[in-house]
Amino acid sequence: MLEVRWLSKVAYRDAYTLQHGLFDSGKAQHLLLLEHNHVYTLGVRADISNILVDPKQVGAEMVRVDRGGDVTYHGPGQLVGYTILDVATEQNSTPNFVAKIEDLIIATLDKFSIVGQRNPGFPGVWTISKDGSLRKIAAIGVRISRGRSMHGFALNVTTDLEMFSNIVPCGISEYGVTSMQAEGSVCQVEDVVGVVASLAPKIFGFSEASFYGASSSDGYSMQDPNLVDSIIKVAPKVDAMAESRSLDRRLASAGVGTAEGISISKTKPEWIKLRTKMGSEYQELKETMRGLNLVTVCEEAGCPNIYECWSQGTATFMINGEDCTRACGFCLVKTDRPLPLDLDEPRRVALAVEKMGLDFAVVTAVARDDLSDGGAIGFVETINQIRRLGRDIGVEVLISDCKGDEDALSAIYKAAPDVLNHNIETVLRLQRAVRPQASYARSLSVLSGAVKAGLVTKSGIIVGMGETMDELKATLRDLASVGVSIVTIGQYLRPTRKHLPVSKWYTPKEFAELKSYGEALGIRHVESSPNTRSSYHAKEAGLGIKV
């Protein structure tokens, strides 16, 4: 099956890491559709003299990559397609694959009344421009290794063509470039996405495909698994009073109206309710945390399992302060300007681990976008302090995306936690509504990097925020495709009226279905139940899996 994903705007380095993760796993066939910020990329045979200005002077990055071809430009208004697919290994496999990509772009342009054509000896798609000249409208650069492809194409839709004047595009000086807009089309990138998604399965030889994507700020929702020829335009379902709330506007953009939510005052189903058991172990752990001036996410996030876990001597330490720089729509942790890091905190966490006699410790943190490393040093130092206790103590860290910073993430990977957890939280369509300062692609990139570093990886999904069962299964397929070993799935519980509404109470049967589905994909442990949270049964899952 071809997995088509519209990821919207993605940082180039995030997409690059994600591509490698999908390529290395060899578990699925993906067509990733997205846009980048301004970036010039140089293929393995690129001539640096084809960069005519310092990219920083025009607000662009410059990145060397492992595709074929010379220098090219990616930026807003350009639809980029990354083809991570199995490719036939017979003679001429690379030119034959490039020809298929050209077929896809030519067929797409035809839907918008633009005649695309080949230019013998020059990969890509070209068109006769209004002035009668032959101009390039789409660049193609691929890498094929071990029967798998990476990279793909870049189709200029509403691209700022002035950005091409700073380079010799693809090392070809005798031809100019153009865009669909320059050729008279009034379409936007999202319009082209729907057409590409509908044409790609047949052209690449797939009889089955799934198509899911991000919602955009203007109300487009890419959520049609049947691959229609255009994007669904969502009609917002919010009333005038709710219109003023950014959370409700994001929900409407994703196709989830506030009218669909379940009232916070409505009685919860019996299978959601938990009995409170405040035993001596709970009190002892609470006193330990207060005595060492430590914070637990169990308390800060209002976890429903706090009494069960604490009575078993298990807690999740929350480092780097109590105030988060992000404002996710589901989370009870306070959003505020954080205090400076407490440099002694890692030592005190290790002291608590020793005092409690733990053989498995879970450490998470608030997002610290105010710090250059996103708070990575706190994780590294806490892991190191726990290791210095000299006992065989398992350590799981639940990290933020560290803003995608490669050095920060690499430092955490090198600290070698036993489990690297990073939650994707929800399906692709709802990312912007649920966690506007994060992204689906970046989360998959973080997990891909951890897998490449040789770590056991884990991720979590919250259900009941407006997603469908099919979307959840697609998310599980994406997690499996980058090599995630452990997944937690739990019911969303609305903390306050200011948070996302609950759209649905999932039944125990549905949780069991998701567990079976995930494990059938090769995910080695799926913890799926109404009251499951990221750290629930973390010790059992973490100690039971080795890379």
Interhelix angle 406-414/376-387, nearest 10 degrees: 10
| Distance between CA atoms of residues 450 and 416, nearest Å | 10
- For 249, the enclosing helix (H) or strand (E) is helix 246-253
User: Is 402 annotated in some ligand binding site?
Assistant: no
| Distance between CA atoms of residues 436 and 439, nearest Å | 7
User: Is 70 annotated in some ligand binding site?
Assistant: yes
User: Is 404 annotated in some ligand binding site?
Assistant: no
Catalytic residue annotation: 170
User: Is 140 annotated in some ligand binding site?
Assistant: yes
User: Is 490 annotated in some ligand binding site?
Assistant: no
User: Is 176 annotated in some ligand binding site?
Assistant: no
| Distance between CA atoms of residues 324 and 273, nearest Å | 28
User: Is 124 annotated in some ligand binding site?
Assistant: no
User: Is 99 annotated in some ligand binding site?
Assistant: no
User: Is 153 annotated in some ligand binding site?
Assistant: yes
User: Is 187 annotated in some ligand binding site?
Assistant: no
Nearest Cα neighbor of 531 from 261, 302, 277 is 302
The position carrying tokens 């994007």 is 231
User: Is 127 annotated in some ligand binding site?
Assistant: no
User: Is 74 annotated in some ligand binding site?
Assistant: yes
| 201: CB partners within 8 A, 6+ apart | 2, 4, 207, 208, 209, 227
H helix and E strand count, the chain: 15, 22
Please, are residues 317 and 296 in contact by the beta-carbon 8 Å criterion?
A: yes
Helix (H), strand (E), coil (C) string for 199-212: HHHHHCCCCCEEEE
User: Is 40 annotated in some ligand binding site?
Assistant: no
User: Is 17 annotated in some ligand binding site?
Assistant: no
User: Is 73 annotated in some ligand binding site?
Assistant: yes
Please, are residues 139 and 179 in contact by the beta-carbon 8 Å criterion?
A: no
Q: Is 178 left (phi over 0), alpha (psi -120 to 50) or beta?
A: beta
User: Is 303 annotated in some ligand binding site?
Assistant: yes
The position carrying tokens 């020793």 is 354
Please, are residues 181 and 157 in contact by the beta-carbon 8 Å criterion?
A: yes
Nearest Cα neighbor of 394 from 368, 421, 369 is 421
Feature table: binding site for [4Fe-4S] cluster:
298, 303, 309, 324, 328, 331, 535
**Which residues participate in the annotated binding site?**
67-74, 139-141, 152-154, 298, 303, 309, 324, 328, 331, 535
State the binding site for substrate: 67-74, 139-141, 152-154
